[in-house]
Structure 1
Amino acid sequence: VHPMGFIERLPFKVEGNRAFGPGIYDMKGGAYLAYHAFRQVCADDVRPPLGVTQLYVSDEEIGSPTSRALIEAEGRKAKYVLVTEPAREGGKIVTGRKGVARFEVFVKGTPAHAGARPEDGCSAIRELGNVIQTLEAMNDFKRGVTVNVGVVRGGSKSNVIAEEAYAEVDMRVPTMADADELVPKILGVTSRTHGVTVKVIGGLNRPPYEKRNAGAALYEHARSLAAELGFKLLDVFSGGGSDGNFTAPHTATLDGLGVDGKGAHTHYEQLYISSIEPRARLLYRLYQTLQ
């Protein structure tokens, strides 16, 4: 997320209840408290009812290309999956996430001199504009569907009808039914202009993480443990994806168990120090009581 050298712009520092640093909230703080909760379980005389596999991965932010198979394999072996992604909106944990799809759009036209012989050309950029309008029209905020064209490039010179254009697209969907409907639509986008071709590749990168019965029961158990520890635990549905999306379809998953804070991926990223101990205790109590 943060480029090399960003530590110079956002050095580690503590100001009152806040600790700053690149990735400290999302999600070094969660990895830190997970380690301490696990270490305490190992130090106890009494072993927890279930074995614990602790898995750290380093490529989640780029789609988990090398870790997904391992996450899914370990997730299928497990009875529960506990994810220490950061807490949301004042300490809420995550019991559902949108699915994430990524696409690339390649447009091929015909070059020509923009002043002398524009009629000989077919602009890939103009057609990409049509494609963008088609994609943006799929946004449905009430339904929870978002489609964003986040990267666009094309053409060679201002006086040349553009031969090529390219775009990168992100789509978020709350349910698999939405994914099944909309992924084929995006892959099926075609050119409106004679002489220009449009090719779309990509698909669903992370399946939706829907709040199922087992996940709901796991949340209620965590909520009761939090009450015993002296704090109120609420849940939220998130538009962002995580590795929890890979396990939730088949294993009871609870996400957002990490530290509270704000500013993930920003120049002011921070965690709240006061959240570390209670969140570590909650994770520790989950290890002790889940069976």
Structure 2
Amino acid sequence: MTLRKSTPVRVDAMLDDLRTLVDIESPSRDVDALKASAEAVAAVIEGRLGGRADLVESAAGPHVHWTGGGEPAVLILGHHDTVFPLGTLARRPFTVRDGRATGPGVFDMLGGLVQAIHGLAALDDRSGVEILVTADEEVGSHSSRALIEERALACGAVLVFEGAADGGALKTGRKGCGTFHVSIAGRASHAGLEPAAGINALVEAAHQVLDIAALGRPDIGTTVTPTVASAGTLDNVVPAAATVVVDVRVESAGEKDRVESAFAALAPHVDGAEITVRGGIGRPPMPESASTELFAVARTLLPGLEGTAVGGGSDGNFTAALGVPTLDGLGAVGGGAHADHEYLVVDAMTERANLVTGLVQARQHQAGARS
């Protein structure tokens, strides 16, 4: 495929914009910080692409939406919230050294946003393109899911700019994922004087952890992992309450139903204990079939490009579940998401931006042929 570009992609310009975004910290749930971040994202989009980037207010913070006009044909999807608390930047400022850019959010996923914007800026024609950058992906996308699904259905194809998989591979499938909170109610009593008068929520929690862990089916891709537990108040008091938090990942809708039903059916082992379960598998699985068409185009543009299914979830799970063709992992090449060693490979930025250019052109051509 021949790309029709108006301007070449420049690494120094991409790094300048990346620095701008990283230097405005954007931890999830901090609405004031996210407002400043959204304004910065909008300014970068407008400066590179023209037009107006609208801030869509929500309880979680502003989302950013831009359109190139014309009939919607492709949605560029990302998020500007990060997992790092305010103050991380002072300890780990944006730095470019030895071919790597580091700093909070460079890989997940500010680098991907910048590459997407610059890939679009290389096009003469941006009609049919929409950009949606949400404020709450890292915490479940509760305020943005309806908007994501609306624009995905309108556009008919979604390119997700989460960081690439190992070695730069695209993410062609994702597990469905969710969190369960299991609360146990017991009864307190003196642990020395009358332990039998109590109902030990901690003992019940221990039983539940074993029952819950047994729900996993790693042979078919289902993982059920108790991750956080708490119980008790003092060392001489029978615990009256306990909680267990569980991470769940599934590869199929059938497993989603099975696991959710199993959590709903959890029963106490200790007489008198009561169990309450909340939560669920909020992100449905993203089947590899959702990416087949777009991934084939990507491989014609970048021969040798690999694709892989991964365990983590993204907003691409939502769009794929609607039956909208979705390709993920188009963002930064690097690693260390959510960790202090997070990094982006600078030399890969141009190639990934050019991939955006080609994928969008292919989608515009396809949409034009159908109209």
Common fold, TM-score beyond 0.5? yes
> Does residue 197 of structure 2 align to residue 197 of structure 1?
no
* Equivalent pair of 1:190/1:199 in contact (CA under 8 Å): no
How far apart are the structure 1 equivalents of 2:121 and 2:144?
Answer: 24
SS in 2 for 1:90: helix
Name which structure has the greater RCO, CA cutoff 8 Å, separation 6+: 1
Q: Which amino acid aligns with 1:259?
A: A
More off after superposition, 214-223 vs 118-127 = 214-223
> Does residue 313 of structure 2 align to residue 241 of structure 1?
yes
Match of 1:3 in 2: 85
How far apart are the structure 1 equivalents of 2:270 and 2:257?
Answer: 28
How far apart are the structure 1 equivalents of 2:148 and 2:285?
Answer: 16
Q: Which amino acid aligns with 1:137?
A: A
How far apart are the structure 1 equivalents of 2:186 and 2:351?
Answer: 59
TM-superposed deviation, 1:11? 1.4
Cα displacement string for residues 53-87 of structure 1 (whole angstroms, at most 9, x for unaligned residues):
11111210001111111001111112210001101
User: Which runs of structure 1 show a deviation greater than 4 angstroms over 4 or more consecutive aligned residues?
Assistant: none
Match of 1:252 in 2: 325
Match of 1:279 in 2: 352
Alignment of 1:43-62 (within 5 A): 44=124, 47=125, 51-62=128-139
TM-superposed deviation, 1:9? 2.2
SS in 2 for 1:54: strand
Match of 2:143 in 1: 66
TM-superposed deviation, 1:133? 0.5
TM-superposed deviation, 1:148? 1.5
SS in 1 for 2:347: helix
TM-superposed deviation, 1:187? 2.0
TM-score (ref. length: structure 2):
0.74
How far apart are the structure 1 equivalents of 2:215 and 2:161?
Answer: 32
Cα displacement string for residues 167-204 of structure 1 (whole angstroms, at most 9, x for unaligned residues):
21110001111101111101221111111111111112
2:104 is aligned, of 22, 32, 46, to 22
Cα displacement string for residues 222-269 of structure 1 (whole angstroms, at most 9, x for unaligned residues):
111112xxxx21001010000000001210000000110011111111
How far apart are the structure 1 equivalents of 2:258 and 2:164?
Answer: 31
Alignment of 1:1-291 (within 5 A): 1-41=83-123, 44=124, 47=125, 51-212=128-289, 215-227=291-303, 232-249=304-321, 250-290=323-363, 291=366
TM-superposed deviation, 1:23? 0.7
User: What is the alpha-carbon root mean square deviation over aligned residues?
Assistant: 1.2
